[in-house]
Amino acid sequence: MDKIIIRGGKKLKGEVIISGSKNSALPILFATLLTDEPSVIKNVPSLADINTTVEFLNFIGKKTVKKGNTVRTYPSEKYRHIAPYDLVRKMRASILIMGPLLARLNRVDVSLPGGCTIGARPIDIHLDAFKKLGAGIFVEGGYVKTLAENGLKGAVIDLKFPSVGATENILLSAVLAKGKTTIINAAKEPEIEDLANVLNKMGAKINGASTGKIVIDGVDGLRGFTHEVIPDRIEAATYMIAAAITKGDIVLKSVIPKHIEAVSNKLKKSGFFVKENKTSIRVKWVKSLKPHNIKTEVYPGFPTDVQAQWMALMCLLKGHSKIEETIFENRFMHVAELQRFGANITVDCKVANITGVEKFSGAPVMVSDLRAGAALVLAGLAAEVKTIVSRIYHLDRGYEMLEKKLKKLGADIKRVHSS
């Protein structure tokens, strides 16, 4: 099993190019199931989750080829309607297979999804939406079986929570439903807008993708498309914090600053130098810093996917701060590992209370989920002595060329293979 070894204390400096968004690329890849024409998706990151999705699409029957950062799909004669456990267990986003297959085949059988262990993350919101669109749902043999014998019909769907995945699944199914579908309390994330833009390129009729109320007028069929995936705002935020935690100076290239304003604003309030241009952001450490509280929220609030990284930074700023996690119930599993570096953190239900320490001391640590892993790498970059990060397969799900990018910025970091 691979490990990452870091010898910290290096001030990271230079430029880093941000990769395409994993969380945008995945639903767009699944959207190719909605057309029988060829499609081209550019700026797709090379990640474990992307490879799993390509494998998944090929199994379903969509001929899919990834070369570099471009994925091409080709016409298919027939799709399978079953998403087996061996594929679904690898990645939670596999649940997005339901929407397009239900739209094309009027049926889909899917095992419950896998992914990071950061909470229950039930799919009831997805299933309730499919029911409103006219599908019947039952569980048998470990599979959720969904059937719409008479096809899907438009409906008003009021989400009890603005779930990104549920919003995407509704978009992927309702575009071919008969009549109009309205999603109330829809997710507003940039990835939702990117998916809607792709579907509209395909001939769908979607309005309001960034407003919280999305209206979809169903169409009879969709065409192929060419699209470039938006930059990964979570990867960008991670490198911004890398500059801050290592007392460095990093310029992020190929970003959309608006997508990460919540993180930029918090860094500014803590005293860091942050300068945004049209497609770049510079983050630089300065003296006289102070910790700042955060509360994770749905977009455009502070993202839960940056909570762990922010915690690592706050642990090294003199004073007290707190972090309130409102999205996932088990997303403080990185606390115990940060404490191994010498962090002073106490947790009270959904709130982490932090007292800054002068320095971190490197330690052997273990990754529990993707973003927790990023926090541990950041801590290692700032720590004295050596840090060994185990179970890094989680990191490979969401960060393209992590060690190479950090090494280019001046980090002493390497991946080692061990049996």
Residue with tokens 């990093």: 250
Phi-psi region of 16 (alpha: psi -120 to 50; beta: other; left: phi over 0): beta
- Among 202, 232, 231, 161, smallest CA distance to 40 is for 202
Residue 285: give the domain boundaries: 3-18+231-416
- Among 216, 137, 112, smallest CA distance to 174 is for 216
Distance from C-alpha of 167 to C-alpha of 99, rounded to nearest angstrom: 10
Residues 27 and 124 in one domain: yes
pTM of the predicted structure, to 2 decimals: 0.95
Domain count for the chain:
2
Residues 290 and 343 in one domain: yes
Residues 69 and 121 in one domain: yes
Task: Please give the helix or strand (H or E) that residue 131 lies within, else none.
Answer: helix 124-132
pLDDT at res. 177 = 98
What does the pLDDT look like over 119-146, one tens digit per residue?
Answer: 444 688 999 999 999 999 988 888 889 9
- Following DSSP, what letter does each residue of 244-290 receive, concatenated? HHTT-EEEEES--GGGGHHHHHHHHHHT-EEEE-SSEEEEE--SS--
Distance from C-alpha of 213 to C-alpha of 158, rounded to nearest angstrom: 9
Residues 9 and 36 in one domain: no
- Following DSSP, what letter does each residue of 94-130 receive, concatenated? GGGGHHHHHHHHSEEEEEPP----SS---SHHHHHHH
Distance from C-alpha of 106 to C-alpha of 146, rounded to nearest angstrom: 8
Residue with tokens 């001939």: 203
Distance from C-alpha of 143 to C-alpha of 39, rounded to nearest angstrom: 30
pLDDT at res. 45 = 98
Is the CB of residue 313 less than 8 Å from the CB of residue 244?
yes
Neighbours of 391 (CB within 10 A): 17
DSSP classification of residue 309? H
pLDDT at res. 117 = 42
Sheet containing 280-284, strands listed edge to edge, beginning at the edge strand earlier in sequence: 13-17, 249-253, 280-284, 273-276
Max CA distance (Å), the chain: 65
Residues 374 and 408 in one domain: yes
Distance from C-alpha of 118 to C-alpha of 329, rounded to nearest angstrom: 7
**3-state secondary structure at position 183:** strand
Residues 237 and 98 in one domain: no
- Among 41, 74, 42, smallest CA distance to 57 is for 74
Residues 299 and 354 in one domain: yes
- Among 49, 89, 54, smallest CA distance to 70 is for 54
Tokens representing residue 302 in the block: 């502070």
Residues 9 and 31 in one domain: no
Looking at 173, 190, 222, which one is the last position of a domain? 222
Residues 275 and 329 in one domain: yes
Task: Please give the helix or strand (H or E) that residue 389 lies within, else none.
Answer: strand 386-390
What does the pLDDT look like over 30-77, one tens digit per residue?
Answer: 999 999 999 999 999 999 999 999 999 999 999 999 999 999 999 888
Distance from C-alpha of 111 to C-alpha of 141, rounded to nearest angstrom: 9
At a CB cut-off of 8 Å and minimum separation 6, what does 93 contact? 23, 26, 27, 49, 53, 113, 115, 165
Residues 277 and 301 in one domain: yes
Residues 74 and 8 in one domain: no
Tokens representing residue 366 in the block: 């273990």
Looking at 163, 196, 222, which one is the last position of a domain? 222
Looking at 200, 222, 244, which one is the last position of a domain? 222
Is residue 349 annotated as a catalytic residue, yes or no?
Answer: no
What does the pLDDT look like over 317-353, one tens digit per residue?
Answer: 999 999 999 998 777 999 999 999 999 999 998 999 9
CA angle, residues 120, 125, 61, in degrees to nearest 5: 90
pLDDT at res. 419 = 62
Residues 214 and 235 in one domain: no
Task: Please give the helix or strand (H or E) that residue 62 lies within, else none.
Answer: none
Instruction: State the helix-helix crossing angle for 164-174 and 22-31, rounded to 10 degrees.
Output: 20
44: domain CATH number is 3.65.10.10
Task: Please give the helix or strand (H or E) that residue 374 lies within, else none.
Answer: helix 370-382
Name the catalytic one among 95, 116, 192, 323.
116
Regions in the chain scoring below 50 on pLDDT: 114-121
